[in-house]
Amino acid sequence: MLPLTTLGDLIADLCLDVESFPILPPGHQTLSGLALGPGGAGNALVAAARLGLPAVALGCVGDDWIGARVLTHLNAEGVEAGRVMRQTGADTRTAVRLRAGTGEQVFMGRPGGLGPATLPETWAHAIADSGVLLVDGWSFFHSNPALVLQGVEAASQASVPLLFDPGPRVGAIDPEWLRTVTRAATVILATEPEHQALTRQLDLRDLRALKSLRALILKLGPGGCVISTAVERIVCPGYPVEARDATAAGDCFAAGVAWGLLTGQPWAVIGAIANAVGAAKALKVGTALAAPTRAEIGDVLRAHSPELARLFEWASPTS
């Protein structure tokens, strides 16, 4: 099977589970959890690898110990990270998350290196050899924007489907960059506010103007998702789970969409399986290191849709 490849936005997540907010000096709290691992594109990569997909990381980390740790985790998960660049003298971009048991959370970002200015030839080859390329809007801020456009172009040239998730900062992305990536996208994944911001940014009244687009997938949190194609609108209800932490559910959902595309599923099945991947993530606290396993996704499906659970087992690449 051809791999899911991600381009850019390879960051680290440091997740600290605190007792309560506010956190004010002087004070002392006991952490109930501390995890340092991949974040950003790493969330989708780990979720994809756990789904049994070949997953390839194209991006950059610093040559610090945090970057080494991100790579160790990606390798341990079976993600192909051999082409990830280690930028000399650069820090690895890190998102620090403080989260209390109430679900309240605070994010703090430590900037890092943007990586190469132009697309290395080995990355262009890796993209051309992919089954799906996943790009998110964070890559505009966390990587070199021109390099990402070159990667998108390499995918178009090789007819590799492009999944684009504009992300929550879509309103701050340069409209020209956004237009180029959106025009090349095969599937757009967005929450409702992100979709609204995207169409506003591009002054786009009708997504049918996007010639490469095969589906717009609106992510609705516990509500699941709605998939619009040229001919149909498919409502895929969410699964009623006892969600603990939906952070990174969207990235894991994207891996579920890639799984569906790479195993040749119809859109209704893609939406239903991706919902299960997102729901299974929401049951766990954390980001990439808490991406759901295939067994956990199977549990969600068995509880709510036994028929899909059988299809999932049967179609899983490593079963």
Ligand X SMILES: Nc1ncnc2c1ncn2[C@@H]1O[C@H](COP(=O)(O)OP(=O)(O)OP(=O)(O)O)[C@@H](O)[C@H]1O
Q: Which residues bind ligand X (CB under 6 A)?
A: 191, 219-222, 224-225, 238-239, 241, 243, 246-251, 253, 275, 278-279, 282
Name the phi and psi angles at 285, rounded to 5.
-95, 125
> Strands 4-7, 55-58: parallel, antiparallel or unpaired by DSSP?
parallel
For Mg ion, the closer of residues 156 and 228 by Cβ is 228
**DSSP one-letter code for 285:** S
For Mg ion, the closer of residues 65 and 107 by Cβ is 107
> Pick from Mg ion, ligand X, none: which does 225 bind, CB < 5 to 8 A by kind?
ligand X
Shortest CB 266 distance to ligand X, Å: 17
> Pick from ligand X, Mg ion, none: which does 116 bind, CB < 5 to 8 A by kind?
none
For ligand X, the closer of residues 213 and 279 by Cβ is 279
> Pick from ligand X, Mg ion, none: which does 308 bind, CB < 5 to 8 A by kind?
none
> Strands 94-100, 105-110: parallel, antiparallel or unpaired by DSSP?
antiparallel
Distance CA(9)–CA(63), nearest Å, equals: 16
Residue among 292, 249, 290 at smallest CA distance from 37? 290
Radius of gyration, alpha carbons of the chain: 19
Nearest residue to Mg ion on Cβ basis = 250
**Within its chain, how far is the Cα of 153 from the centroid?**
20
> Pick from Mg ion, ligand X, none: which does 13 bind, CB < 5 to 8 A by kind?
none
For residues 244 to 263, the per-residue mask of contacts with Mg ion, x marking binding by CB under 5 A and - elsewhere, is ------x-------------
Shortest CB 221 distance to ligand X, Å: 4
Shortest CB 65 distance to ligand X, Å: 26
Distance CA(274)–CA(253), nearest Å, equals: 5
Tokens at 228, concatenated: 């619009």
Tokens at 142, concatenated: 């966390």
Shortest CB 119 distance to ligand X, Å: 26
For Mg ion, the closer of residues 78 and 221 by Cβ is 221
For ligand X, the closer of residues 161 and 256 by Cβ is 256
Tokens at 113, concatenated: 């290196």
b/e per residue 132-158 (b: at least 16 CB within 10 A): bbbbbbbbbbbbbbebbbbbbebbbee
> Pick from ligand X, Mg ion, none: which does 142 bind, CB < 5 to 8 A by kind?
none
Shortest CB 218 distance to ligand X, Å: 8
CA distances from 167 to 19, 46, 142, 248 (A): 29, 19, 13, 11
For ligand X, the closer of residues 58 and 243 by Cβ is 243
Shortest CB 228 distance to ligand X, Å: 14
Shortest CB 253 distance to ligand X, Å: 4
> Pick from Mg ion, ligand X, none: which does 182 bind, CB < 5 to 8 A by kind?
none
Distance CA(169)–CA(233), nearest Å, equals: 26
For ligand X, the closer of residues 210 and 241 by Cβ is 241
Residue 37 is inside which H or E element, if any? strand 33-40
Residues that bind Mg ion (CB under 5 A): 250
